[in-house]
Structure 1
């Protein structure tokens, strides 16, 4: 089957707004090409020879957003929606379209995904690659779900989990995506984890990744609106989402935390960090640590 690949190119400074707009438009899938920090990523990867040389030649000042339309869809409607949203946001962009086979776009991203070592204990490894390490190995096949460990927001969350998980915890992952955070917590020794996401495709992917890592009996994937599927209290609650969602979610978090529990909030661009921190404090949470990496912020909180 031939799908339509709509490629929207924007400047790095507009990437967050453009990605958010594209996510609202996309129906058949979305894929982001962002090489702005490729040198830093190379430095963080143990086997540098795994990096494709062509990646180092990619442009650093732009982001390319691929929106995929299934066979029979009308590209004109999506192009009109892109134009409306980009103009409303004041984002300069260019757009191209191309027909691609389903296999091409579903698997083409794999050549850019390589093992990552995160924190003191974790290594995130693509399910189709061999990787010898003494670290706790988390096998991952993200499919169409968000969360490979390579993005700063996910990496910051995993570093926090590496520090917080001591063994035996009950964990809640809000906006679970690929399930990477819940599975990481389980592999580090948590007793159980629940992953909640509004996207049923993401939840299915998370369940599959839990099975891939041998923790399916400890993981429960739930389709729902952020925390509405939560039950009881948790020693660790993580939300790697966006600033607005964290602000909206904050008032419910203290009721989800067990005594001495921690809330990990990430997905926050640095320009909105103060606003999110104020919302967390207003909700009755104490910010114990602020982690930052290349323009992204993660807060580790406890009940005040």
Structure 2
């Protein structure tokens, strides 16, 4: 029997993108309804709930997905406990300290309180990619600073910190045409570089894209400063790729960010999450060939 060879596009690549489309369809529906409200916030809540629903269905069942609180025995009960949009935790191991039911009693809306040592990742979900939303997302992730500031010894009985392999990122549902030249948005993404496990983020949709492109935002480390590609008047955040300005860390280290748009980026994001959770992620290497595909690859295969 002939040995199997990797096929491009991979089986189910277009079906995998249906989950992305469902999230965006529900988001658009909520946006339309929220226009009738004085305070238009409901579509943001729908974005969070739909993303948690997709993630909970996609991830291996040893991982749980919830909104809620991260609790540490090293933090005083007099301090406010921040609420996070998406917490990924060890579903089979973690005790649930308490549950806050949502008004509609939906599983996606309930908030759980998880001990810090069982939390694998935190993801902040925003409706749109803009300077203000990136800033608020990173500022919220910084509220984890105390429990990011140390690592418990392997034999520590009474753990206080997030685990060594913890990571965090940002998810935006769309980049609107009105924000396509917002250099501050891509520059602001770099500000998260000091957060432990910060992995950038994704934008599920770009205004005007004819294909099912997802924007992937990655961090770059350079020995030389880089000037944002948006300095060129013809460049846009909706173009194939965009470079941010860099910030200087020390004499030979600069951090920047790159945004690129492609159909396989949703699959790459999804399987990078799995690899990060499983401890198999390698920077610069594709985490999985599952669900990788493009319209061009599919058309070429038909010929």
TM-score bracket, normalised by the shorter chain, equals 0.3 to 0.5
User: Which of structures 1 and 2 has the bigger CA Rg?
Assistant: 2
Higher relative contact order (CA 8 A, sep 6+): 2
Higher strand share: 1
Higher helix share: 1
| TM-score between the two structures when normalised by the length of structure 1 | 0.32
